[in-house]
């Protein structure tokens, strides 16, 4: 009976951690023409990229394949998503994350710096961030604020700050006031513009669309990573804060065309 | 009086050691304990996103997971011991197994191994319970360490309970008139 309980719970989690492939090439960052700007942590470039779910209401019960296969480029609505690295890199990783999720924090602190150094700075991979708000209202505020930082080309600095100062879920560390304090620590941030953007919830629809898409696609946790070729083909969905060596094995296989 | 005290002390310490020695002097029970502990350790490591099997087998321990990992390992070992002891009790005595603390301890151990709101468990809570689900998954996530400690406490109670059962079945009632 005990082993049965363990097996059932293991199945629940292993099922979500194992990676699987989608057949549709519909998902992915559109290849842009801009080159990556150099900075300490790589500059984000505002590249039209993204998708708008056919049904804006989250529905996690639909099968993932069916949902993603319905997303053709013709249906994609242009959105502004933060991109780290060269948009024309051969491989794109799309991270669906929540700023309050501890595993997303682990990915940002442990894996992303190594990924950045080894693959992003060398132009082999670019990283796109999408919102998957699941942890409550503070997560929503953080997601919208990050888009406001992105508007000023400072998303990745904001990303680093939030994940570096992550607190307990819904404890207030990601309240609107604290988000403004975090933003004020970023050199060159126009705080008047940022505060106005946050207060007016300027990017709410983008965050809602990303989240609805994630639910509709059947993503079962954060962070969810989609690793695909830059033309959107061969997407592979990974759930979890993959450590760098494991992600490296996946990326090397994908780069070598395996 | 002093004899009584000595007897009581001896019986107190041996109450935990003797059943352990008795059961784990045979290979099948060692194997059951080891297999159960390993199975639970693997499950909790997967839940904690520390252990990966594809495309390479990889285990890593980031800073934020050290305390949780130590507690999960203690839980796994305790669980292995208790499962094995319960099987021994079931096979060798007519006593009814007391499962409440064992099951609550092991279930709590598994539940607290997850960052609930990051995993499918949290999603299940959120999608079925809405705002209450968010609160529930946040609680599971924020109180992961205390829950694991509680789980260890419950398993320790289960160990005590099984040990006492085993010892009582062989106990001599000193108060009984000769």
Quote the number of domains for chain B: 1
Residues of B in contact with A171 (CB under 8 A): 142
Domain that holds residue B64: 13-170
Whether the CB of A191 is below 8 Å from some CB of chain B: the reply is no
Kindly provide the b/e burial profile for residues A73-92, where b requires at least 16 CB atoms within 10 angstroms of the residue's own CB: eeebeebbbbbbbbbbbbbb
Domain that holds residue A42: 2-255
| Interface contact B106-A2, CB threshold 8 A | yes
| Interface contact B55-A250, CB threshold 8 A | yes
The pLDDT, as a whole number, for residue A86 is 86
Quote the number of domains for chain A: 1
Q: How many CB atoms lie within 10 A of CB A155?
A: 24
| Interface contact A135-B83, CB threshold 8 A | no
Whether the CB of A250 is below 8 Å from some CB of chain B: the reply is yes
Whether the CB of A108 is below 8 Å from some CB of chain B: the reply is no
**CA Rg value for chain A:** 18
Percentage of chain A exceeding pLDDT 70: 69
Residues of A in contact with B126 (CB under 8 A): 134
Residues of A in contact with B49 (CB under 8 A): 17, 103, 106, 240-241
Q: Is the pLDDT of residue A155 over 90?
A: yes
Residue of B49, B78, B135 best to disrupt the A interface, most CBs of A under 10 A: B49
How close B8 comes to chain A (CA, Å)? 35
How close A130 comes to chain B (CA, Å)? 15
- Contact in structure between A143 and A130 (CB atoms under 8 Å): no
Q: If pLDDT is split at 50, 70 and 90, which confidence band does A235 have?
A: confident
The pLDDT, as a whole number, for residue B160 is 84
| Interface contact B39-A171, CB threshold 8 A | no
The pLDDT, as a whole number, for residue A221 is 86
Residue with the larger pLDDT of the pair A106 and B17: A106
Residues of B in contact with A240 (CB under 8 A): 49
Distance, CA of B56 to CA of B46 (rounded, Å) = 14
Residues of chain B with pLDDT under 70: 1-14, 94-123, 125, 127, 169-178
pLDDT in tens, A175-227: 999 999 999 999 999 999 999 999 999 999 999 988 998 888 888 889 999 99
- Contact in structure between A106 and A243 (CB atoms under 8 Å): no
**For the sheet containing A44-48, what is the strand order?**
A20-21, A236-239, A224-229, A91-97, A125-131, A80-84, A44-48
Show which of residues 43-82 on chain A sit within 8 Å of chain B, judged by CB atoms.
60
What six digits make up the tokens of A83? 């991109």
Return the sign of the alpha-carbon dihedral for residues A86, A89, A94, A100.
Answer: negative
How close B38 comes to chain A (CA, Å)? 11
Residue A256 burial (C-beta neighbours within 10 Å; 0-12, 13-18, 19+): exposed
Whether the CB of A243 is below 8 Å from some CB of chain B: the reply is yes
Q: Is the pLDDT of residue A105 over 90?
A: yes
Q: Which residue of A has its CA nearest to B58?
A: A246
Average pLDDT over residues A80-85: 86
The pLDDT, as a whole number, for residue B111 is 62
For residue A186, give the CATH number of its domain: 3.40.30.10
Bond before A19 cis per omega within 30 degrees: no
Q: Is the pLDDT of residue A131 over 80?
A: yes
**Single pTM value for the model:** 0.75
- Contact in structure between B54 and A18 (CB atoms under 8 Å): yes
* Nearest residue, CB atoms, A169 vs list B114, B117, B123: B117
| Interface contact A105-B103, CB threshold 8 A | no
How close B46 comes to chain A (CA, Å)? 7
Q: Which residue of B has its CA nearest to A15?
A: B120
Q: If pLDDT is split at 50, 70 and 90, which confidence band does A103 have?
A: very high
Residue B5 lies in a domain: no
Average pLDDT over residues A9-19: 39
Q: Which residues pair with A91 in a beta bridge?
A: A125, A229
Residues of B in contact with A10 (CB under 8 A): 42-43, 46
Residue B132 lies in a domain: yes
Percentage of chain A exceeding pLDDT 90: 50
How close B170 comes to chain A (CA, Å)? 28
Residue B176 lies in a domain: no
Between chain A and chain B, the number of residue pairs with CB atoms below 8 A apart is: 108
How close A112 comes to chain B (CA, Å)? 14
């Amino acid at each position: 009976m005990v082993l049965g309980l363990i097996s059932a719970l293991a199945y629940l989690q292993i099922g979500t951690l194992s990676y699987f492939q989608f057949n549709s090439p519909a998902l992915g960052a559109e290849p842009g023409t801009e080159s990556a700007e150099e900075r300490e942590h790589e500059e984000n470039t505002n590249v039209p990229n993204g998708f708008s779910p056919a049904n804006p209401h989250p529905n996690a019960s639909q099968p993932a394949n069916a949902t993603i296969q319905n997303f053709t480029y013709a249906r994609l609505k242009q959105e502004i998503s933060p991109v780290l690295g060269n948009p024309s890199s051969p491989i794109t990783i799309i991270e669906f994350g929540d700023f309050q999720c501890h595993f997303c924090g682990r990915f940002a602190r442990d894996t992303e710096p190594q990924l950045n150094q080894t693959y992003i700075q060398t132009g082999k991979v670019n990283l796109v961030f999408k919102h998957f708000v699941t942890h409550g209202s503070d997560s929503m505020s953080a997601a919208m604020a990050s888009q406001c930082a992105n508007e000023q080309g400072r998303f990745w600095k904001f990303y680093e700050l939030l994940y570096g100062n992550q607190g307990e879920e819904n404890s207030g560390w990601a309240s609107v006031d604290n988000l403004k304090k975090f933003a004020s620590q970023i050199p060159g941030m126009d705080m008047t513009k940022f505060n106005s953007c946050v207060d007016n919830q300027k990017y709410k629809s983008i965050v809602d669309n990303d989240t609805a898409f994630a639910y509709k696609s059947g993503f079962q946790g954060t962070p969810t990573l989609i690793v695909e070729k830059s033309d959107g083909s061969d997407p592979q969905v990974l759930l979890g804060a993959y450590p760098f060596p494991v992600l490296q094995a996946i990326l090397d296989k994908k780069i070598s065309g395996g | 009086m002093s004899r009584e005290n000595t007897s009581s002390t001896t019986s107190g310490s041996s109450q935990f050691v003797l059943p352990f020695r008795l059961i784990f002097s045979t290979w099948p029970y060692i194997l059951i304990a080891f297999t159960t502990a390993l199975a639970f350790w693997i499950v909790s490591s997967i839940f904690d996103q520390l252990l990966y099997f594809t495309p390479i087998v990889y285990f890593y321990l980031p800073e934020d997971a050290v305390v949780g990992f130590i507690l999960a390992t203690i839980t796994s070992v305790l669980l292995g011991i208790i499962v094995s002891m319960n099987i021994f009790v079931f096979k060798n005595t007519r006593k009814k197994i007391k499962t409440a603390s064992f099951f609550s301890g092991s279930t709590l151990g598994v539940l607290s191994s997850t960052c609930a709101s990051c995993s499918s468990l949290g999603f299940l809570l959120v999608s079925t319970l809405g705002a209450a689900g968010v609160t529930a998954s946040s609680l599971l996530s924020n109180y992961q360490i205390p829950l694991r400690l509680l789980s260890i406490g419950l398993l320790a109670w289960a160990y005590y309970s099984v040990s006492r059962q085993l010892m009582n079945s062989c106990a001599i009632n000193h108060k009984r008139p000769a």
